Amino acid sequence: MCMCLTQWLVVFTDAKTIPNGFSVDLIHRDSPVSPLYNPLETPFDRLYNAYNRSIYRINRFRPTYSKAFQSDIVANGGEYFMQFSIGTPPVSVLGIADTGSDLTWVQCEPCEECYEQKAPLFDPTKSSTYKSVQCGTNPCNALDSSNRVCDQEMNTCKYTYSYGDRSFTKGNIALENFIVGADSTSNRSSVSFQNLVFGCGHNNGGTFDNVGSGIIGLGGGPLSLVKQLDKSINGKFSYCLQAPESTPESSKLIFGTVKESNAVSSSTPLVERDPSTYYYVTLEAVSVGDKRLPYGSFSSSSAGEKGNIIIDSGTTLTFLQSEFYNSLESALEEAIKVKRVSDPKGLLSPCFEADKDIDLPIITFHFSGGAEVKLQPRNTFAQGRIQDNMMCFTIVPSNDIAIFGNLSQMNFLVNYDLEERTVSFTPTDCSNSH
């Protein structure tokens, strides 16, 4: 199973307490303030790196893996990083945050085999609040049976994950105290949580980036951070993503209830499917300008099912079923009416000559429940990143899995309500949402 690098970074630099929750900063991995920022990369380089990460990431959602990898993770680095503290006394940790994963884990001492990381490993023997989890308990049984191992001699619960790209993590399931928003030497506000379930990884390797120390799971499964904080945040979390080049300010991740705005919000039901980690919704149609294309009628039977697309903040591009995509591409070419050109690397298509006077169409995603998400050209086209005289469509075909990626979600407040089982999209200038 191929793992991938995602496109955003989450850094808990200052957790701001709000009614019924708290908010934190999000930093894009390509932002100059990101720990992964490479000043030698051009916008052209960053776009194609993001394309390749998206292609790798889609493999982990394929149905073949749905049972065995209920709580799987993303190797090969990460789009978001969350900085938090763990243990007593607290130790600062930087972990990859992922809305497509459940189990939170960090690299731990003693380390049988670990990938290189810049920060010291967490040593559970030096924490007075570290607690092992026994076999047969609820936290242990929440793991998929294929990922769960019982140490019969010690009666301790262990986890193990391995991946098609030869990345892996193995260790103990445990309880520990977490602090987000500050480290042990900081004067910033912070939010503390006791006895959160996590994995203490003693054997980890593969393509993980040395900036991070592990994974923070923000998926919909029982062991995710979101589900463990369920009551304290009323089952709600949201984010507002902005383009990394638009402003040096960070985006926002909010745990809990967000205050209402005057903008019109579109809400669609979350669909219960296996695995529970992923956030499934139902796509009914896509419009190019005023031309509406029914999604299920053009494509395979799976496109007409409920829960036919996954919302994923860790995938850069948006993927739609290949059979439907052919009709979408034709409608797009008809609406734009300028000369088609070729991407020099042959990855993105269709591409068009970039005419300053061109009137690009609004692309509308019609989800079940009457939700309409109108995507502006900045959500659907890469302009000036490839060549000054070229723009390319950032929605691409997929042979089986459909994913609503983070470029399509930029400048929307995306709000998940896991109690009501809905996700809503509110048009928002995320650069001014601080």
Give dist(CA 7, CA 27) in Å, integer: 10
Of 207, 224, 129, which Cα lies nearest the Cα of 168? 207
Instruction: For the sheet with 291-294, list strands across it.
Output: 291-294, 283-288, 363-367, 371-375
Pair 178, 86: CB distance under 8 Å: yes
The catalytic residue among 25, 30, 72, 312 is 312
The catalytic residue among 25, 98, 102, 144 is 98
- Partners of residue 423 on adjacent β-strands: 268, 416
Catalytic residue flag (residue 144): no
237: CB partners within 8 A, 6+ apart:
21, 218, 226, 253, 254, 255, 256, 415, 416
Catalytic residue flag (residue 98): yes
Give dist(CA 282, CA 417) in Å, integer: 16
Burial bucket for residue 262 (CB in 10 Å: 0-12, 13-18, 19+): exposed
What are the residue numbers of the active site?
Answer: 98, 312
